[in-house]
Amino acid sequence: MRAFAYERPTTLQGAVALLAEHGSEARLLAGGTDLIIRLRDGSIAPRIVVDLKRIAELDGQIREHDGGLTIGARAVMTDIAADGRIRRDYRALAEAAAVVGSVQIRNRATLAGNICNASPAADTAPALLVYGARVIAAGPAGTRRIPIDAFFVRSGVTTLARGELVTAIELPRPTSRPGSVHLRRTRRRGHDLASVTLACAVRADGVTQLAYGSLGPRPVLVSDETGLLADPTAPELAKMRRLEALFVGASPSPRSMRASPEYRLAMLHVLGLRAVGTAIERLAQGSVPR
Amino acid sequence: MTMRQRIELTVNGRIRSVEVAPHHTLLDVLRDDLGLTGTKECCLVGECGACTVLVDDLAVDSCLMLGVEADGASVTTVEGLATGDKLHPLQEAFLETGAAQCGFCIPGQLLAAAALLANDPHPTRAAVEEGLAGNLCRCAGYEQIIEAVVVAARAGASES
């Protein structure tokens, strides 16, 4: 690994000042499970690494806020997967956090880092999309909220402005508790990146939201407002046609080693239909985990 | 160009003060600065788990953590499992079931298993598989490793 300077600011202002001073020569360190791999393989070579873990204003707490939840930038996947409120009201996010990497990875990897890394295969991204999460970012111009759908650009690129960093992720209060689920396809059980990662939320008002990743440069949110997908009595064939129309924008890379584009597209439709079924069941049950 | 930084951490119950380069991982610090070579270097991308240690009682891949990040932390490596001449119950169980073949992955497997049993003293087989999913064994000794963890759980490994 190439040498770099290491700074451990204790205030948010200190971190923002370091980013302003060093610009693209600086990299932020939260959990490090993506960053350290890239530092070692030489794909990035910053002059300075800014460790966010001693900043008083940034913590790993999950707080209730206007009926929703605010997840601190240092919250790790293990804590998100285990949080009773997330498991109850944002179940797809708990399920997604529970399958990121391995125990070792989940004990370090943060939700904020997962979205800032902006991998198209990020397992938490589809869940955040179906719940309409907002990213809270702090920078030289102050604090702003970015809808998660306006956050992802492509692999490794977000709409964070220069000098901005994520301080928390907000989950708005669900209008009515939806039935929701996260599903994914991997090459093997255990520790693997997703060939398809997908979240689905079916609301009591008949709106179904689906978000998928690993099928293009960024995770994608689509919505069915016709009520067809949410209808437990609608024929499966009609639902499959509807899903085909909704998933028309999926564009898996032909160069990926993990799975062929044809396989990914086929599995997207299989998982989509399965997820709609599970979400409908959970909506009927009140979405309480076993 | 880079200044070494002094950190203080507790390793296997002993307070250690060490000057580390910021770009050295915790794995580098344990092996090269502290001479604790029980922790193994293998894939260096967080997939194999050979470098697993406990940091503040949580299993982590020490290849994906900088040494400086461990400042103030308590670290347990495989060298810290036995008490004097007495092996840890997990180590006994690994011996008893023949779970160690070439042995290279075993330090990481032991620490992942120790973390698992601390949280879940009587895990199901599925929970053992999930708890050890981040630890690869190139000898493919998974059956014996899983059995060893189950045997240790039965013997009350988490209480020691």
Q: What is the arithmetic mean of pLDDT over A186-206?
A: 89
Statement: residue A220 has pLDDT above 80: yes
C-alpha span between A177 and A284 (Å, rounded): 10
- pLDDT value at position A77? 98
Q: What is the arithmetic mean of pLDDT over B18-38?
A: 98
Q: What is the arithmetic mean of pLDDT over A165-194?
A: 89
- pLDDT value at position B160? 54
Statement: residue B2 has pLDDT above 70: no
- pLDDT value at position B159? 65
DSSP symbols for A60-103: --EEEETTEEEEETT-BHHHHHH-HHHHHHSHHHHHHHTTSS-H
Choose from B25, B64, B119 for mutation: most chain A CBs within 10 A: B64
Cβ neighbours of B61 in A, within 8 Å: 33, 104-105, 108
pLDDT digits (tens, 9 = 90+) for A32-66: 999 999 999 999 999 999 999 999 999 999 999 99
- Give percent of chain A above pLDDT 70: 98
Statement: residue B10 has pLDDT above 90: yes
Choose from A28, A103, A106, A107 for mutation: most chain B CBs within 10 A: A103
Residue B128 in contact with partner chain A when CB distance is under 8 A: no
Domains in chain B with CATH codes: 5-80 (3.10.20.30), 89-159 (1.10.150.120)
C-alpha span between B103 and B97 (Å, rounded): 13
Residue A188 in contact with partner chain B when CB distance is under 8 A: no
pLDDT class of A290 with cuts at 50, 70, 90: very low
CA-based end-to-end distance of chain A: 45
Q: What is the arithmetic mean of pLDDT over A62-91?
A: 96
H helix and E strand count, chain B: 5, 5
Domains in chain A with CATH codes: 5-51 (3.30.43.10), 62-171 (3.30.465.10), 179-285 (3.30.390.50)
Contacts with B, A 63-122, CB within 8 Å = 78, 101-105, 107-108
C-alpha span between A158 and A181 (Å, rounded): 25
Statement: residue A260 has pLDDT above 60: yes
Residues B82, B76 contacting (CB under 8 angstroms): no
Q: CB distance A107–B58 less than 8 Å?
A: yes
- Give percent of chain B above pLDDT 90: 94
pLDDT digits (tens, 9 = 90+) for A158-176: 999 999 999 999 999 987 7
Residues A50, A67 contacting (CB under 8 angstroms): no
pLDDT class of B3 with cuts at 50, 70, 90: confident
- pLDDT value at position A255? 85
Statement: residue A278 has pLDDT above 90: yes
Statement: residue A190 has pLDDT above 60: yes
pLDDT digits (tens, 9 = 90+) for B49-104: 999 999 999 999 999 999 999 999 999 999 999 999 999 999 999 999 999 999 99
B84 φ/ψ angles, rounded to the nearest 5 degrees = 60, -125
Positive/negative CA dihedral, A61, A65, A67, A69: negative
- Give percent of chain A above pLDDT 90: 90
pTM: 0.96
Q: What is the arithmetic mean of pLDDT over B23-38?
A: 98
pLDDT digits (tens, 9 = 90+) for B101-138: 999 999 999 999 999 999 999 999 999 999 999 999 99
- pLDDT value at position B102? 96
Statement: residue A185 has pLDDT above 80: yes
- Arithmetic mean of pLDDT over chain A: 95
- pLDDT value at position B131? 96
Q: What is the arithmetic mean of pLDDT over A212-216?
A: 95
Q: What is the arithmetic mean of pLDDT over B28-41?
A: 98
Statement: residue A247 has pLDDT above 90: yes
Q: Name which of B1, B45, B135 is nearest A37 (Cβ-Cβ).
A: B45
A25 φ/ψ angles, rounded to the nearest 5 degrees = -80, -5
- Arithmetic mean of pLDDT over chain B: 95
From residue A199, how far is each of A102, A226, A268, B65 by CA, in Å?
A: 20, 19, 11, 30
Q: CB distance B61–A190 less than 8 Å?
A: no
